[in-house]
A = this chain, B = another copy of it.
Amino acid sequence: MEGLTKSEIKRNALVQATIHLVNNNGFHATPMSKIAKMAGVSPGTIYLYFENKQDLINKVYLEVKVAFTNYAFQNYDEKMSVKRGFEVIWKQIADFKLKEVEEARFLSQCDNTPMIDEESRNEGIKHLQPLLDLWDRGQKEGIIKKGSHYLLYAYTIYPLAFLMNAQCKNEIKITQEQIQNAYVMAWDSIKK
């Protein structure tokens, strides 16, 4: 984190403030003035870094998405077996969602509401490609059930969003044991 210019520090503060406030209040209930205040800058300063509110949200979304997929695929290798590869990716995604809660909740909200531009959303989807490729391979090998990527995603990755949200609301506490249970459920749902 060292070596950041003042500009980078300010921009980071704006990004973090946006994530935090949108998580707690939603997009439209988060005024630019509050974002500025939380970031410790003047309202006008936001417009030095972002064109407008929509641009701010889009850019934050894409940056968080990149961080997310970088984390998700960090120790994954295409030469791994399908089962092993899936486990690695799934657990890293779970890890991200439980450790980087703010970022993960932000992505979840973006993906479940009409607050992101069509264009930015499409850009964000591309990043999952390695997982989709893995599933294709698994289906070819007869290890994974037939079905669209959407179906596989809905039953393996998407449930994590629900668990994460529940934990945020202090409705549950997710332990390592539960993670393991969830992983088994994810795998059971798609394995042949």
Contact = CB atoms under 8 A, between A and B. Distances in A.
Contact of A159 (B25, B112, B155, B181): B155
Contact of A28 (B28, B148, B150, B159): B28
A52 interface: no
Interface in A3-24: 24
Interface in A103-147: 108-109, 112-115, 145-147
Contacts of A151: 163, 178, 181-182, 185
A171 B150 contact: yes
A26 B154 contact: no
Interface string A22-37: 0011111100000000
A190 interface: yes
B145 A153 contact: no
A189 interface: yes
A39 interface: no
Given A24-B114, A154-B163, A162-B158, A185 B189 contact: yes
Contact of A178 (B115, B148, B153): B148
Contacts of A161: 158
A20 B159 CA distance: 26
Nearest 3 pairs between A and B by C-beta?
A: A28-B28, A189-B189, A154-B159
Given A150-B166, A155-B185, 13 more contacts: A26-B28, A26-B114, A27-B28, A28-B28, A29-B114, A145-B181, A150-B162, A150-B163, A151-B163, A154-B159, A154-B182, A155-B182, A186-B189
